Structure 1
Amino acid sequence: MKTIYINGDVYTVTQGFCEAFVVQDNQFIYAGTNEEALRHADEASAVIDLENKFVTAGFNDSHMHVLNFGYTLNMANLATATTSLNDVLECLKTYIQKNHIPEGSWVKGRGWNHDFFNDVHCFPTRYDLDLVSTQHPILITRACGHVLVCNSKAIELLGLTPDMESVVGGEFEVVDNELNGVFKENALNLIYSKVPQPTVDEIKTMLVKAFHELNTYGITSAQSDDLVVFENYKDILQAFKELDQENKMTIKLYEQSHFTKLDTLKEFLNDGYNTGKGTEYFKIGPLKLMADGSLGARTALMSVPYADDPTRTGVQVFTQDELNEMVDYASSHGMQVAIHSIGDKSADMIIEAYERTLTKHPRTDHRHGIVHCQITRPDILDKFKQLELQAYIQSIFLDYDIMIVEDRVGHERAQTSYAFKTLFDVSHASNGSDCPVELPDVLKGMQCAVTRCSTHGQGPYIPSQALSVEEAIQSFTIHGAYASFEENLKGSIEVGKAADFVVLEQSPFKTDKFKIKDIKVCATYLNGRCVYKN
């Protein structure tokens, strides 16, 4: 059956504006005028009047954590209670009481940010969490996902001691010969590897919940780092496969396959997984690696010490040789690579690894990339063009980082960072949220990209690096499709492409740029099927 959509304010992404389009067999078969669209009608056709609402291609979040998002939807939401440490503790107490969590059962929360605390100016510790409960094991994750704090009961149950062997690429804090409950970067695995693991069915429930939440933001595609959320990555792959077979995927997902050891990557590839393998709804993407931490936690790897803490340069997750080996093995076996980098030193390491493997094993159209690309220098930005790297940006990060970036890295380095316009011009810069670090709010991300201000009006921060509204939409559509080698399949309203589209109450082109975040998503369509309606 054909469905004809007329009277719309339709931004096609690649071919300008039109007023109507036609969908048949999950694809766009026409985009243009009302008159010509209606010529496609037959007795079985449906005609839908868009009533001048804005329509564009379905949004593609090119870097997030879908499973972790679904997991956190069942946790205490500390992002809503992070104005003080006391608020965090009260939120946890309320969560335990409201959900009637019995003593001995795990309590988990995510979203706190100590930079917002007005009563103390440091990470929480085990002793703070003990004020909530000494009978419940509690663990809470910072908004960035790079720092975790657990209470005394959790430390006891997990068998953690202050004389544990140090963790390469991670830290745990010991004060007065006692663990204080703070774990950073790779040391988080000391916790995650020992907490109770969910079943495949429980993982599926988390994923479905996340999919539907993403649809409410107009998202139809996501590029997601999921395989390290729980201990057995094969259970996670099985959950995705079963949901795909059961037709329960309301998101087209490109898996950024995260591994920390070469042996596991080899096993993955030997099992037949590689970039591009899969179906329309679940496909293997790049090897995903972590080269450093976060700016907020001062674990991003910097080439010079932090301006506000000269004793720190961040956390180096891999040695250069280890990084080179992982990248070379993946690239030489035809796998795309995407590596997390927030500090400029980690970007240097990644560029060295890419240059090394592409010299040793030349590849055309590799689409290797750097995820986040936050603290950069002009020479790093030049390398994006020279090496044809994909830039995975998160413009929504300006909403918080605008408050800390200059304090953390100093004025000079801050002036060449978050260089979204430069990256857009020299590479295929795709946009995302890093959810659950931030909510997957595409329109909020667009507003930050266009205004270079926080959503509370702080800024602008380097206004010359602002994207236009058109570029911001492209970063969340066609550039995301390019990152997954799917620019000929989706990412624009174009004949022959998948009918993935979003209907908005107002046009971002015609809305005050400081109010783009307030535009409502009216409906989200995946392959022509409505998966969300407001």
Structure 2
Amino acid sequence: MKADSVFINGEVVTVDQNNRVVEAVAIKENRIIAVGSNKEVEEYRTDETVVIDLGGKALLPGFIDAHLHLTIYGTNLLGVSCVAPHIQSLQDIFADLRKKAQETPKGQWVRAWGFNETKLKENRFPTKEELDEISTDHPIVVIRTCNHTSIANSKALEIANFSESTPDPDGGIIERNQSGNLTGKLLENAHMQLFKYASYSKEELRKGMKLASDEFIQAGITSVHDAGAYGDGSQTLQIMQQAIKSNEINVRVYAIIGSLTNSHDFVHKMVEAGPITGLGDDWFKIGPAKLFTDGSSVGPTIATRQPYSHAQDDYGIIYYSQDELNRILGEAHKKGFQITAHAQGDRAIEMLLNCIEKALLEHPRIDHRHRIEHAGIASRDLQERMKKLGVVAIPNPVFMFANGDRYLEFYGERVKVMYPARDYADRGIIAAFGSDAPVSFLDPLLGIHAAVNRRSWKGQAVGENQCIDIMEAIRAYTWNGAYASFEEKSKGSIEVGKLADLVVLNDSILHVDKTKIKDVKVELTMVDGEVLYDPTYLLTSNNKKRKKHIKL
């Protein structure tokens, strides 16, 4: 068998069972056909083989992000960005919202995303009245970076049927001032319910998905576990499948069956429909059934067993009772689904573990790989139960970089067991890393950096006892992600017979100063044997006279 392309002279981090580091890889069509030394791979070359000389740079399996929101990430790019470099104050956001409103037909939604009051000079949320000054002809919503809180103007509240007499939904708060008037701030399930009305058109959803896919490829991400979006989950899945078939989405998708709006309805609909986890192909597969159990770690609204360190009477928000959780996810387990839930606080994690334990007792299943999304405050008694039950954890180490300073304020010493990668590795609990983008930074290398260093963006140590080494962090972003979706036999490592999903970095990843990992960049991304990202255009150029031997 002769290769279509080979990579030579590299730091090839295979992430195989022995964590081998070799020099070269050969690719035929969409599969890896040889892995080893330059000499071993040489025999697969012909005059027609494209030879990529890595020059000592790192070649890794394509990154697998085990928890992000593809649709939300993409549709955000259609709105006003609160994380753009010029945004320093509320007035900057208001100016962009005003411009967007002028470009938008009356009655249509104007949305801003990525809002973080702590990064603005005013250090506060906008008010409903300030948004009304921008426009009362347009419904306006400003979505906090956590995607669990928003501020809406009067028009948006009217469309959503939120008034002073509207009761708070279960698991949510429609904030009111001391006079009982709506402030426009919506928390948790109230925020989620707004998006029954602030939904996007099919055309916008599809456009956003393509934009998201393009950015994922540039970040070296070749597979994603999509954790759901707002609105009708069935429609989102249908559009996603169509976009994949038409090559608008070029990453592989493991579709978690969950919606940010009434997730139990979507889970029930899918359980009744018949398809179960694993249905699909290498590009699109049905993933686990998922609920939301609690809130945002930086809200903070997560459900904790002890009160927040800064608010002694606050234990967070719970979406479902134990009986409801057991019933909804228990039925999904019975029908053959992998099950999971957004569970950040230790109280929420405990409830989900109770649910999994009961489901397995009533309907035993080998190799279920039930998951916990985030598993934020995973104290050691909970870790013991995860290990015993065979649960896969999906932590987000990048949160420690993005939010670590706030976590110290909110949770105190509990940061020592937040997203505890070291404990997971030592206990033999498989943990697959996710970014939760757009809630936090997409870049897998920043996630790896955060797991290795455990410092906030301000440089403050946040639970350094949970630091892991670089190879462990790479595995958590590759093979472990494949394991979490039952796909470790086809991807997640560089081994003969596996899919040719690969990423080239601009440096050695194993020998770079660990404090500089976040500065390493993606130089090339290959999916299914095809180079999809190559900023130098050495390999993706249409120039048919290009050289067969290319030095990166």
- Residues 417 and 243 of structure 1: CA distance in aligned 2, closer, same or farther (over 3 Å): closer
2:184 to 177, 181, 206: 181
Match of 2:323 in 1: 321
CA change 1:44–1:400 in 2 (3 A) is closer
Alpha-carbon deviation of 1:405? Answer: 1.5
Q: Which residue among 101, 104, 128 is the counterpart of 1:101?
A: 104
The one of 4, 9, 12 equivalent to 1:10 is 12
Q: Distance in 2 between matches of 1:11 and 1:430?
A: 18
* C-alpha separation in 1, matches of 2:363 and 2:511: 48
CA change 1:262–1:63 in 2 (3 A) is closer
Given that residues 264 and 291 in structure 2 are in contact (C-alpha distance below 8 angstroms), is that contact kept between their aligned partners in structure 1? Answer: no
Post-superposition offset of 1:82: 6.2
**Could you give the per-residue CA deviations for residues 20-48 of structure 1, whole angstroms, max 9, x where no partner exists?**
11001311110011112111123443322
1:254 matched to 2:289? The reply is no
Q: Letter of the aligned partner of 1:415 in structure 2?
A: K
Question: What residue is the counterpart of 2:127 in the other structure?
Answer: 125
Do the aligned residues in 1 keep the contact of 2:68 with 2:436 (CA within 8 Å)?
yes
> Alpha-carbon deviation of 1:438?
1.3
Q: How far has the Cα of 1:181 moved from its partner?
A: 0.6
Aligned twin of 2:547: none
- Rounded Cα–Cα distance in structure 2 between residues aligned with 1:240 and 1:261: 18
3-state DSSP of counterpart to 2:134: coil
CA deviation vs aligned residue, 1:163-187 (integer Å, no higher than 9, x gap) = 1133011111122232111111111
Is the contact made by 2:408 and 2:462 (CA closer than 8 Å) also made in structure 1?
Answer: no
TM-score normalized by the length of structure 1: 0.94
Number of aligned positions between the proteins: 526
The 5 Å alignment of 1:157-236 reads 157-175=159-177, 176-199=179-202, 201-226=203-228, 228-230=229-231, 232-236=232-236
Partner of 1:428: 430
Cα 1:196/1:336, change in 2 over 3 Å:
closer
Q: Are 1:394 and 1:431, in contact at CA under 8 Å, matched by a contact in 2?
A: yes
Tell whether 2:377 aligns with 1:401: no
Contact preservation (8 Å) 1:63, 1:225: yes
CA deviation vs aligned residue, 1:80-132 (integer Å, no higher than 9, x gap): 366544443344335446xx334443210111112334324x43331232243
What is the CA–CA distance in structure 2 between the aligned matches of 1:135 and 1:248, rounded to whole Å? 34
Question: Which residue is 2:470 aligned to?
Answer: 469
Separation of aligned partners in 1, 2:88 and 2:387: 41
Say which of 25, 28, 31 aligns to 2:32.
28
From 77, 90, 93, give the equivalent of 1:88. 93
8 Å Cα contact 2:142-2:152 kept in structure 1: yes
Q: Deviations over 1:171-210 (max 9, x none)?
A: 11122232111111111243111235412x4322211111
Q: How does 1:333-482 map to 2 (within 5 A)?
A: 333-411=335-413, 413-426=414-427, 427-456=429-458, 458-482=459-483
Please name the residue that 2:516 is paired with: 515
Residues 416 and 466, structure 2, Cα contact 8 Å, conserved in 1: no
Asked if structure 2 preserves the Cα contact closer than 8 Å seen for 1:82 and 1:112, the reply is no
1:62 corresponds to which residue? 66
Contact 1:480 1:491 in 2 (8 A): yes
Deviation at 1:8, TM superposition (A): 1.4
What code does the residue aligned with 1:79 have? V
Secondary structure, aligned partner of 1:429: coil
Residue matched to 1:269: 271
The Cα of 1:324 is off from its aligned counterpart by: 0.7
Q: What SS does the aligned partner of 2:509 have? A: coil
Structure 2 equivalent of residue 110 of structure 1: 113
**Separation (CA, whole Å) in 2 of partners of 1:501 and 1:237:** 26
CA contact (8 A) 2:257 2:267 kept: no
Change in 2 beyond 3 A, CA 1:263/1:238: closer
1:444–1:94 distance in 2 versus 1, CA, 3 Å = farther
Q: Which moved more, 1:320-329 or 1:39-48?
A: 39-48
Aligned-pair CA distance for 1:461: 2.0
Contact 1:446 1:472 in 2 (8 A): yes
Change (3 A) 1:184 1:10: same
Q: What is the distance in 2 between the residues matched to 1:327 and 1:194?
A: 27
TM score, norm. by length of structure 2: 0.91
Report the Cα distance in structure 2 between the residues aligned to 1:145 and 1:452, rounded to whole angstroms.
24
Q: CA, structure 1 residues 307+85, in 2 after alignment: closer, same or farther (shift >3 Å)?
A: farther
Which whole-Å CA distance do the structure 2 matches of 1:104 and 1:239 have between them?
A: 25
CA contact (8 A) 2:234 2:266 kept: no
Partner of 2:530: 529
State the partner residue of 2:52. Answer: 48
Kindly tell me: are residues 41 and 196 of structure 1, through their superposed partners in 2, closer, same or farther at Cα, counting changes over 3 Å? closer
Number of the residue aligned with 1:75: 79
SS of 1:250 mapped into structure 2 = coil
Counterpart residue type for residue 183 of structure 2: N
Task: Give CA deviations for 1:463-495 in whole Å, capped at 9, x if unaligned.
Answer: 221010101111100000000000110001100
The answer to which of 20-29 and 296-305 deviates more is: 296-305
2:545 matched residue in structure 1: none
Q: What is the Cα deviation at residue 379 of structure 1?
A: 0.7
* Structure-2 change in CA distance of 1:90 and 1:247 (3 Å): closer
What secondary structure is seen at the aligned counterpart in 1 of 2:417? coil
RMSD, aligned α-carbons:
1.9
Distance 2:512 2:454 in 1: 16
> Any conservation in 2 of the 1:371–1:392 contact (CA below 8 Å)?
yes
Of 260, 277, 280, the residue aligned with 1:278 is: 280
| Contact 2:401–2:450 (Cα < 8 Å) also in 1 | yes
- What letter corresponds to residue 111 of structure 1 in structure 2? G
Mind listing any 5+ residue stretches in structure 1 that lack a counterpart? none
Q: Give the counterpart letter for 1:516 in structure 2.
A: I
Q: Following the alignment from structure 2 to structure 1, what is the Cα–Cα distance between the partners of residues 72 and 47?
A: 46
Distance 1:261 1:70, change over 3 A: closer
266-275 or 307-316: bigger deviation: 266-275
2:465 alignment partner, SS class = helix
Letter in 2 for 1:250: N
Matches of 1:119 and 1:266 in 2, distance apart?
43
Identity of aligned residues (%): 33
Instruction: Note closer, same or farther for the CA distance 1:310–1:86 as it changes in structure 2 (3 Å cut).
Output: farther
Unpaired runs of 5+ in structure 2? 536-552
